[in-house]
Amino acid sequence: MSGALIVTAELGGEDFAWLDGLRRRNFPLDRNQVPAHLTVFHAVAPSAEQELRRRLAEQVGGVAPKASIAGIMDLGGGVAFRIVSDDLDELRAELADALRGLLGAQDAGGWRPHITIQNKVAPKVARELVLALEGDFQPRPLRIAGLGLHRYLGGPWETLGVFPFRKPS
């Protein structure tokens, strides 16, 4: 839905550079309209913008969530890294409870945290990337630097605000 609000967990600098580089190399050029990201909510009602700003500012007052890249996900027509974080799960659950009734169907139905590095390709192409990545994959920590608020513009996003965590994990 155009105009909907998107909430992301902002990636730390080195992790972002690595993941965005993978995304730029593997995502179809004409489909890659946003950088690498970890979506917390896909579509929040635009009327919730001020409430979201307030709640995101509150959430970043403590220690940054611990997170890790735990595996590779075959999306059929794409590839993503599976993210594991009890801290982010808890943060998201608190926000989801506060935003009940303002979330889109995709967000109300649960959360599978991931960072997509390829999408909208033939399943054979995606499977080739899965196999290539699995060859030397090792779980690794993922630094979460903050929370982001964005507006969906029918493809690209407009960043409305970034809320850095005050204390690194």
In a domain, 18, yes or no: yes
The residue assigned the tokens 């943060």 is 91
| Domain range enclosing 10 | 5-159
In a domain, 165, yes or no: no
In a domain, 91, yes or no: yes
In a domain, 139, yes or no: yes
Q: What six digits make up the tokens of 60?
A: 């970043």
pTM: 0.94
Q: How far apart are CA 50 and CA 54, in angstroms?
A: 6
pLDDT tens for residues 63-111?
Answer: 999 999 999 999 999 999 999 999 999 999 999 999 888 898 889 878 9
Average pLDDT score over residue span 4-21 = 97
Identify the pLDDT of residue 95.
Answer: 94
pLDDT tens for residues 121-167?
Answer: 999 999 999 999 999 999 999 999 999 999 999 888 999 999 999 88
Under a CB-based contact definition with an 8 Å cutoff, are residues 115 and 39 in contact?
no
- Give the chain's domain count: 1
60 has a pLDDT exceeding 80 = yes
Count the Cβ atoms, other than its own, within 10 Å of residue 114. 19
In a domain, 168, yes or no: no
81 burial via Cβ count (<10 Å: 0-12, 13-18, 19+): buried
The CATH number that applies at residue 60 is 3.90.1140.10
Under a CB-based contact definition with an 8 Å cutoff, are residues 63 and 169 in contact?
yes
Average pLDDT score over residue span 46-65 = 94
Identify the pLDDT of residue 2.
Answer: 66
Count the Cβ atoms, other than its own, within 10 Å of residue 128. 14
